Amino acid sequence: MSLPVPYYDRDGITIYHGDCLDLCSELPQANLLIADPPFFMPAQHYAARSEWARAWGDTAILARWWSGTLDLLVRRLADSGSVFVFCDDESYPVFYPPLYIRFSALSALVWTKGRIGMGSPWRHSFEFILHARTANSKWRGSAGESDVLNFSPVAVADRDHPVSKPRPLLSKLIAVSTDAGDLILDPFMGGGSTLDAARDLGRRAIGIEIEERYCEIAAKRLAQGVLPFKES
């Protein structure tokens, strides 16, 4: 299939409304993939089976989906490209192996948010970010970057998507792994924070989002120009 008419297309930033699995085979090669995929852990269709024993096999649906999705996305990645994948303490064992077998180097970064969130008895204050790369992947950071990233989350009142990521964090990931003019691909775009950060740094970006309401939100934000980030 050919790409649909973009939902938004201006100054090197493009939004497509649709499923990344349907569209990615037609996309140009990207220099960086930033993905915040859904963490449906465990498989929801077991939720109604109150007597069904908890088993790691419950993650099979997510694992199969992620492996197939990654196959398609990696084909759109330039030889010098790399991948950042957001995940949490339960889902990272599912996301890690498919990246491990496809790339020669894989790091688990810790994004610490500086405050506690939901959870019991241990309340969450961090997320993992998996960074997959090859020997040819670009690196524009220093020789001694910490694998613990300290960035405040987006305040709930300022979020335009349930899992909005702070623009300074995304800017950091983009800056250490791309050059000006490079193309960033975000296949699960949400409210468009990755596209905002890419534009601020002089990169091009393509975002794909399956829910049209978030395409509309992102397009409106981008049309308004560079917006100041609200520290939470």
pLDDT (tens digit, 9 = 90+) per residue, 160-195?
887 889 999 999 999 999 999 999 999 999 999 999
> Pairing between strand 126-133 and 148-150?
unpaired
Q: Smallest Cα–Cα separation from 196: which of 180, 207, 211?
A: 207
22, 126, 132, 134 from 156: Cα distances, Å: 32, 16, 30, 36
Token pair of 190 as six digits: 């949400």
Strands 126-133 and 105-112: antiparallel
pLDDT for res 228: 42
pLDDT score, position 229? 38
What would the mean pLDDT of 54-77 be, rounded to a whole number? Answer: 89
Structure tokens belonging to residue 143: 């020789």
49 pLDDT tier (thresholds 50, 70, 90): low
Q: CB of 106 within 8 A of CB of 100?
A: yes
What is the share, in percent, of the chain residues with pLDDT greater than 90? 70
Q: Is the whole model's pTM more than 0.75, yes or no?
A: yes
The helix or strand, by DSSP H or E, that contains position 15, with its residue range, turns out to be strand 13-17
Classify domain 15-43+68-223 at the CATH superfamily level. Vaccinia Virus protein VP39 (3.40.50.150)
Task: Tell me the residue length of the chain.
Answer: 232
